[in-house]
Amino acid sequence: MSKLWRIACHEYRRNVFKRSFIIALLSVPLMIALNVGVGSIMASREVNNAPVGYVDHSSLLAEPVPAPVTASSKPMALIPFETEAAARTALEAGKIQAYYVVAAHYFSTRDVDLFYIEPPGTNATRQFYDFVQINLLAGRPSIGADVAHRAALLGDKVTVRSVDGSRHVPSGGPTFGTIMPLLISFAFLFLLLINSGYMMQAVVDEKENRTMEVVLTSASSTQFIGGRVLGIVAISFTQLAVWVLTSILAIAVAHRLGIDWFQDLSLDWGTVLATAALAIPTYVTACALMAAAGATVTSAQESQAAGTPFAVLHLAPLYLAWAIVMTPNALLPTILSFLPFTALSTVSLRNIFAAVPYWQVAASIAIQMLCAVGAIWLASRAFRLGMLRYGQRLRLRDLLRARSQ
């Protein structure tokens, strides 16, 4: 066991200090920082809390009821004007950022005109819409101002809940916490794509420089492959840890900036932990199989192309996303939840729209763990059979038919 850990540490040290690894490690944090920066700049330009005027020709706003202001938006003054000329004068003087004109026949046509010199912020449109909405409701005798105030505060946010109460999805779309399992699966897939070169070359280098005979005099093929796979998984977890810390910082910044999508950060920790438990053996399986593929090729150039099928297989559920979303507990999504390459993405998609039964999640995790052990065994077998075949390709048929040595 000590030899396995020594090989893993050697694999980790020789790759983690490479320039290419450092660039890949910093690429995601820099991309996240750039996106948050651009998003904050755009949000700051869109939010303009200067007063907005309005001219009411329909008497809808003759005795206005003020609209409530949500926590994600700042209060903005709404100034009434008797005439359009007075509103235009205030706009040209810079006292208001825009003004609305409610048509005299508003109750039959719902016509409202907007006048501005520069486009107003989204906050202006949202608050004036709420202002009109609450006064429409307050004008109905059967509703009253109190009920209208509560309805305007709620707005058009409707939550769709499953029958058992285990899932709820807002009508505006999934929240941050809802899609977290899918983000986890994408993170592991991204790691797989970035680190595929390390995985495929885990044994190719020793085959090309003919040093594996020396290595195998002190370690078995299983220890060699197992150590290489563990080292690469440790490299991937180093990247993942840096990305997670950067993402937490970016989410905290976005939350403080008041971006709506990052206001509800509640998580279903049971689902998150189950997805992570499923992702780890799935990733180990992919690493081991890529190492096995590296043992069957004859050069590093061939190993780079051999990683493409693994990425395609993990992306396969996304091509069937519509069927999975519409019927998350049907036969096809259930079967895909147990297969080695499709389980992670399928379970993540199903968790957004339905409660995946716990027994299916547990069974899928157990299957992925067995596949991980089998993949490591297959990789060590491929390495053992192909270590002396310099310049010769090891076929899958030869790998399966050969007897254990």
Residues 84-133 have pLDDT tens digits of 999 999 999 989 989 999 998 888 888 899 998 888 877 778 788 888 87
Q: Taking CA 187 as the corner, what is the angle to CA 25 and CA 334, rounded to the nearest 5 degrees?
A: 160
Domains for the chain: give ranges and CATH numbers: 2-41+163-401 (no CATH), 47-156 (3.40.190)
> Over the stretch 49-72, which tens digit does the pLDDT of each residue have?
788 999 999 888 888 877 666 544
DSSP 311-335: HHHHHHHHHTHHHHHHSTTSHHHHH
Question: Could you identify the residue written with the tokens 């389980």?
Answer: 343
- Confidence category of residue 162, pLDDT binned at 50, 70, 90: very low
Question: Could you identify the residue written with the tokens 């990052």?
Answer: 262
Question: Could you identify the residue written with the tokens 């910093």?
Answer: 26
The arrangement of strands across the sheet holding 112-115 comes to 78-80, 52-56, 98-102, 112-115
What would the two tokens of residue 388 be?
């002396």
Report d(CA 393, CA 176) in Å as an integer: 47
Report d(CA 71, CA 121) in Å as an integer: 17
Who wins on pLDDT, 388 or 271?
271
Q: Provide the pLDDT for residue 89.
A: 93
Exposure on the CB side of residue 292, measured as CA atoms within 13 A: 23
CB 98 within 8 A of CB 120: yes
> Over the stretch 342-376, which tens digit does the pLDDT of each residue have?
898 888 888 877 778 889 999 999 999 999 998 88
* Buried b / exposed e along 102-114 (16+ C-beta atoms within 10 A): bbeebeeeeebee
DSSP state of 387: T
DSSP 11-24: HHHHHHTSHHHHHH
Highest mean pLDDT among 99-103, 173-177, 203-207: 99-103
Report d(CA 370, CA 377) in Å as an integer: 11
* Cβ-based neighbour number of residue 72 at 10 Å: 12
pTM: 0.60
Report d(CA 85, CA 83) in Å as an integer: 5
- Confidence category of residue 269, pLDDT binned at 50, 70, 90: confident
Q: Give the strand pairing for 159-161 and 168-170.
A: antiparallel
CB 300 within 8 A of CB 328: no
Q: Residue 140: phi, psi to the nearest 5?
A: -90, 125
Report d(CA 333, CA 357) in Å as an integer: 12
Report d(CA 192, CA 182) in Å as an integer: 15
